[in-house]
Amino acid sequence: MGRWIAIGTAPGWDDFGKFTAEMKPTSQWRVDPRTTITTVMALGDGRLMAECHAVQQADFDAWLRQKNWQVQSVTPITHLAKTGEIWKVD
């Protein structure tokens, strides 16, 4: 299963209430049985960063479009370390 990081902006997401409304429901995280948005962060410079696990990048791209993101980049993740665990991503 692939993983990707997207960086971009989305109108109004700098407001905590809008950010909460967009991301609070579980349905916003679990796009389908094989696509999950795992992390979304609002950065101090106004940009957003999101991580997705999916079979194909197109599924993540569709979520970003649906959320009105102006995407600056979508980058595959090749390996990662998180809280002492290390994964190689295929």
Indicate which CATH number applies to the domain containing 37: 3.30.70.3090
Count of the separate structural domains present in the chain: 1
Q: Please, which pLDDT band fits residue 90 given cuts at 50, 70 and 90?
A: low
Domain coverage including residue 59: 2-88
pLDDT single digits (tens) 11-59: 999 888 999 888 888 888 888 889 999 999 999 899 999 999 999 999 9
Question: Among 14, 78, 24, 36, which residue's Cα sits nearest to residue 50?
Answer: 36
Sorted by sequence, the CB contacts under 8 Å of residue 49 that are 6+ apart come out as 5, 6, 7, 39, 40, 41, 43
Three-state SS at 87: strand
- Structure-block tokens of residue 60: 């993540």
- Structure-block tokens of residue 6: 């997207």
